Amino acid sequence: MTAAVLLLVLAALPCALHARLVHEGEDGFSECNGFFHQGSPPQGFTHPGNVKICQRYQGDQHYATLYSTQHKIPVYSAFTYQEGAGGGWGGWMVEPQVDDSKSSLDEVTKGSDAKEHVPDLGTNQALEEDYASTDYQPGALYHRASPALTSSVPLTPEFTEKWAADVDLLIKEKLLPHCESGEHLHLLTGAVPSNTKVNDKVAIPEFIWLAACCNAPEAWSLGIIKRTGDVDGLEQVTVEELENQLSGDIKLFSNQCGGGALHPELRSTSDASTQTDEEPSVQTPGAFSRFFQFIFCVIYEIINTFVCLVWFLFKQVCNIIFGRLYWIWTALTTYIFALSKVLLNIPCDVLCVFANILCGFVRILNNALSVVCLILRLPTRFLCDMASFPYYTICAIPDVGIDILSGVWGVFMLGFSAVFGAFGGSFSVASFAGSSFFQRFIGQSEGYEN
Q: Read off the pLDDT of residues 303-327 as tens digits, 9 standing for 90 and up.
A: 988 998 999 899 889 988 988 888 8
The residues near 354 (Cβ < 8 Å, ≥ 6 apart) are none
Closest CA to 174 of 252, 96, 111, 268: 268
DSSP classification of residue 171: I
Which is higher by pLDDT, 90 or 151?
Answer: 151
Mean pLDDT of the chain, nearest integer: 82
Q: According to the model, what pLDDT value does residue 6 have?
A: 37
Find out whether the peptide bond into 217 is cis, omega within 30 degrees of 0. Answer: yes
> Average pLDDT in the 101-119 region?
78
Please give the pLDDT value at position 113.
81
Residue 324: per-residue pLDDT:
84
Find the range with the poorest average confidence among 58-67, 69-78, 267-276, 409-418: 267-276
Q: Considering the chain, what percentage of its residues have pLDDT values greater than 70?
A: 85
3-state secondary structure of 95: coil
Q: How many helices (H) and strands (E) does the chain have?
A: 9, 10
pLDDT score of 189 more than 90: yes
- 245 forms beta bridges with none
| The amino acid at 176 | L
Give residue 169's pLDDT: 92
Instruction: Tell me the C-alpha distance between 34 and 340, whole Å.
Output: 55
Model confidence at 5, in pLDDT bands (50, 70, 90)? very low
Structure confidence at residue 390 (pLDDT): 78
Angstrom distances, CA of residue 128 to CA of 197, 257, 367: 14, 36, 57
pTM: 0.57
Q: Does domain 2-278 have CATH number 1.20.1050.10?
A: no
Please answer whether residues 53 and 21 qualify as being in contact, where contact means their C-beta atoms are separated by less than 8 angstroms.
yes
More confident residue, 193 or 429: 193
Asked if residue 276 has pLDDT above 50, the reply is no
What pLDDT is attached to residue 322?
86
pLDDT band for position 277 (50/70/90)? very low
Query: Rounded to the nearest 5°, which phi and psi values hold at 201?
Result: -140, -55
Highest mean pLDDT among 18-32, 38-52, 392-406: 38-52
Confidence of residue 251 (pLDDT cuts 50, 70, 90): very high
